Amino acid sequence: MEYKVGSIGRVIVARFDDGEDFLGSLRDLVTQEQIRAGWFHILGGLRHADAVSGPKEPVMPPDPVWQTVDGAREVLGAGSIFWDGAKPKFHLHSALGHHGETLLGCVRRNTSVYLILEVCILEITGFTATRPFWDKGGFNRLTFQK
């Protein structure tokens, strides 16, 4: 385990509207505000998302199991923000529910908002961390700078 102790900087609350590309718009916001490290919570709806619901087998690097959700889904999730070079990288786990069926997964791409999605971003300050690609694991891994 590695860890750093920091502080909460700015708090940003945003609303994303029906049809918006959530992850693309979030990337634009984080880039515009230069949030280099942060934690965020989401609450609302998605009409489309591609998520990973786990590996096929518990090996490294993992072979992901992709799930696509279409239609109105209630969403509750939490994620982190750290950069890889010039781009922010998100790690977002969410529960996406519809009529009593729930998919819990790592939401990664092709996101479209249904009605509204509210987001609260907590900027983290006081240390430097990035999320570069980790060859051994086959994913972008949180890495603390010395």
Q: What is the pLDDT of residue 58?
A: 95
pLDDT value for 146: 80
* Helix, strand, coil fractions of the chain, as percent rounded to 5: 10, 65, 25
Residues of the chain under the 70 pLDDT cut = none
CATH number of the 8-54+81-127 domain = 3.30.1330.80
- pTM greater than 0.85: yes
Amino acid 99: pLDDT: 94
Residue 66 and residue 51 in contact, taking contact as beta carbons nearer than 8 Å: yes
Q: Torsion angle of alpha carbons 64, 27, 73, 10, nearest 10°?
A: 120
